[in-house]
Every structure is written in structure tokens, then in C-alpha cells.
Amino acid sequence: MKSKFIKTTQCILATIVVACTSPTLESDAAMPESNTKTSVSTQKMAGYNLVVDINGTGDYKTIQQAFTAVTANNTAETKIFIKNGRYKEKLVLPKDKINVTIVGESKDGVIITYNDYASKLNSAGTAIGTSGSASFVITGSNFKASSVTFENSSGNVGQAVAVRVDGDKAIFNNCNFLGFQDTLYTRTDTSRQYYYKCYIAGATDFIFGASTAVFDQCQIFAKKGGTYITAASTSQTSKFGYVFLNCNLRTDSGKATYYLGRPWGNYAKTVFINCDMANHIKPEGWHNWSKPEAESTTFYGEYKSTGLGGNMSSRVKWSHPLSDAQAKEYTVSKIFNGWVPVL
């Protein structure tokens, strides 16, 4: 199934039983003419408030400088254009920097990267921990990113987060998330996050946390050397956790090497709907993290999984094959309690 963007925010896909609420697509801002001599800041690109260029032709050379320049608690959108380059920065978007949008010149050309990892020691000799390892921490609400690569380049050294999202109503459109263990940390249970046509790669627990997140038409790439794709820690009071809609699950690992998920928290909720799964998915599908008590409190579900790893007949007995009626409840609007993302 492919999402279809129309001027209204509601669409019902009649060819399948799942009804969906699609985001509204905004027109892309005009791209700049190439100009090596004139500063972009003096010939401002239409539609953007700030321009970042590591080579010095923009308003700022670093992304953090641009974030610092954003007016605190600004109710209007601040739109930042980032020119191609490898930006080695440990970024933080503070809680009072809201309604910030970053747009990359190209998805593979704009790379935000850092190489911290959980066991790395700080100046006091204490490990920085998983939360502290993130290359980019987003605490401001209403953040958007389009056509950007986010990376933790540490490799196979344990927990090493590329992006940690704490703020509510975060949107990622056509972005890459690259790492190994713990690539994407959807941290807080009050956060709603929407990922559209993104590529997310990693190994053990590389999508994890307590947030409510929808992954729409994304490619989820499981690297060789890992075992679990998701590790949700959904709160007991949250109706939804992770929802994967029309995603492709791919790998460079071997046959039957990966579980779809395991419960970091005992109320983990993860559902795959209309997803195509390669043969790296184990027949049993899900793992209880050696916590039998979690089997009765988690909600792991699938609907119309396809591919060599999509056979649901041998899934663990405590998982949930969704009925048509249940699947219809997984619309974007319902999952996000009325919020419909606008790309």
C-alpha cells in the first residue's frame, strides 16, 4: 500500500481493510541557485529563515549555532536550510526551541554525526550512559527534519544513539538513521513521532523507547551482528506504542537471526501492519526478554505480514494476529490522539 497525499488530511484506502489518516504535504521551498561568491545570508533563499553551510557561505557554519539563534518559544516556524556537508556536532535542540524545521540540501549529502557511546567516560570519569551517547538530542516540540542523515559512527561498541527524541510532535521525512546498537531512542512517553519514508539501520534494539511512534513506508535495515529490531518501553497508560505501516524489513544478516521485538518495559506495544519481511525474521517473531510475566502485559501484533519472514503461523502464542476490525483502529489520527502530521 502506498500513502496518497491529497489536500484534505483524511484518506480511506478502500483496497485494503486498514483506514489511514495521511499527513498533508506542504510545497517544498525553492532551492537556491549555485553561487560560490555571494553569501547565501545576503541573498536569502525564499522560504528559509537561516542557512547553514560548513564551508562558510551561509548564516552559520554549524547547526548548533543556528539552533542558538532561534528565538525561544517562537510560535512561528523557524525553517533552517542545511547545505551538503559532514557536520560532526553533538547537537542539542533545547526545550524552548520549538517549531524548528531543518531541511537538507540532499539526504545523503547532509550528514549529522558524532561518535559517543554509553561506556565512554566523561571528564569526571563516569560513563555518559545511553541517553548521553546521542549525536542529536531533540527536546523542543514540533520539530521537523527532511532529507538529512543522522549518524552515530561509533560502530559495534555497545549502546550508541544517533538520535534521541524527547519532544512532542516530531516529524522525520525522507531521512536516514545510521548506527549499530540503539540507533533511534524514542525516549519519553509523552512524545508522538512520525517517520515517513525513512531508512533506519542498526543492530540490537535499534529502535527503542517509550514514545508513541509511527513508521510509515520506511525501510528497517537489520545489520549483521544483532538480534532484536525493537525494544519498546511503552507506558501502561499508552494505548499505542510503535506502529509500522507498509514498511520493508531488510538485512545483511542470515536467515532467522532477528526478532521483531522484545519488551524493554513490561507494557511494550509494537504492531506491524502490511509490512514485507525478509527471511531474517525468526518464525517465532517475538522474545520475552527472559521475563515470562511480560507475556501477559505486552501487546505484540501483526496484520497481513508478507515476505519470507512474514509467515505468522509459528509466532509465539502470546502475540496477536490482528483482525480486520482491529487493524482499522490503527489510523494516524487515532494513534496520535487527533494530531495529523504535516510534512
Closest CA to 341 of 154, 197, 207, 186: 197
**Active-site residue, selected from the candidate residues 59, 116, 205, 276:** 205
At residue 39, the 3 state secondary structure works out as coil
Closest CA to 119 of 111, 127, 108: 127
- Which set of grid coordinates corresponds to residue 328? 482499522
Strands 192-196, 170-173: pairing is: parallel
Residue 85, Ramachandran bin (φ over 0: left; ψ between -120 and 50: alpha; else beta): left
Indicate if 116 belongs to the active site.
no
Closest CA to 295 of 309, 277, 315, 314: 315
Q: Decide: 153 and 131 in contact? Cβ < 8 Å.
A: no
Instruction: Encode burial over 21-31: b for 16+ CB neighbours within 10 A, e otherwise.
Output: bbbeeeeeeee
Query: Which residue's C-alpha cell is 557561505?
Result: 57
Indicate if 205 belongs to the active site.
yes
Residue 153, Ramachandran bin (φ over 0: left; ψ between -120 and 50: alpha; else beta): alpha
What count of other Cβ atoms lies within 10 Å of the Cβ of residue 34? Answer: 5
**Active-site residue, selected from the candidate residues 59, 168, 182, 189:** 182
| DSSP assignment string, 65-88 | HHHHHSPTT-SS-EEEEE-SEEEE
List all residues 6 or more positions away from 235 whose beta carbon is below 8 Å from its beta carbon.
189, 210, 265, 267
Give the CA-trace dihedral at 174, 181, 215, 138, to 10 degrees.
Answer: -70
- Alpha-carbon distance 165 to 300, whole Å? 23
| DSSP assignment string, 202-271 | ESTT-EEESSEEEEES-EEEEPTT--EEEEE---TT-S--EEEES-EEEESS-TT-BEEE--SSTT-EEE
| Residues annotated catalytic, as ranges | 182, 205
